[in-house]
Amino acid sequence: MNPGRLQGRVAIITGGARGIGKAIAFKIVQEGALVSLLDILGDLVAQTAEELRAIGGKALGLKADVRQKEKVGQAVQRTLDHFGRMDILVNNAGIVQPALLEDVKEEDWEAVVNTNLKGTLICTRAVLPTMKKNRYGKIINIGSRSSLGKELRTVYSATKAGLIGMTRTWALELAPHNINVNYVGPGPIATELFKASNPEDSPKTRALVNGIPLKRMGEPEDVANLVSFLASDESSFITGQAIFICGGLTVGIAHY
């Protein structure tokens, strides 16, 4: 593994077993970071960690539910015990329960809010003592372009918009401790889960791509490249920002 801009840094990535979280893990490992992956999918997160080790990386795969404070605390402690430090937190774990406004179920509201907002709060609070002690930290919250509005996303968009407010507030509170906090809002990203339900040649997918100013889907690696930059010292003067990575959808007329 060649030295990179994250050489020796230790990162925790929630929801790191697959999709965007997995792409972020591979990118920052290639940049020299050591990673601890947290995911509710125990077997899959262990497999992803093994894949990272197979390319020369150092990785832990830990089963943990971000909604459970005790489990998250144990995972953070295992990371510290194993790697000796903790520098970067990527709050990537999240769920969505699509529904029209009148069809939103109370239990879906609770599940999405507890994962996307409460889970992010729990994980961030768990790493703060170490970051404050070391006077160093990079916190990247993975949101969504849906925070700006999208059909069938009443609850999801509310949580991702709320995450922007949390990001900006935490950036102010944590700046005196040399901790940067930023928000990344992906638009349409061609993860395996997305492609499984949206075939590339389907009319729905073609219409979606045609509505993107850059005329292509985003790849998980596109998001990973931005996260890697925000996790590095090259972004040391950037904090409290919401950066959308969506092929231009935030300035176009299309809706995603």
Q: One-letter amino acid identity for 201?
A: D
93 with 65: CB under 8 angstroms? no
Mark whether 156 is an active-site residue: yes
Structure tokens at 199: 């075939």
Q: How far, CA to CA in Å, does 61 sit from each of 162, 196, 220?
A: 29, 25, 20
Edge-to-edge strands, sheet with 137-142: 59-63, 34-39, 10-14, 88-91, 137-142, 179-186, 242-245
184: β partners: 142, 243
Q: How far, CA to CA in Å, does 238 sit from each of 50, 165, 231, 246?
A: 33, 16, 10, 20
Which one of the listed residues 136, 156, 183, 256 is annotated catalytic?
Answer: 156
Structure tokens at 185: 């809002």
245 with 186: CB under 8 angstroms? yes
Q: Of 38, 51, 156, 162, which Cα lies nearest the Cα of 88?
A: 38
Q: How far, CA to CA in Å, does 44 sit from each of 19, 40, 41, 142, 255?
A: 11, 9, 6, 20, 33
Catalytic center residues: 156
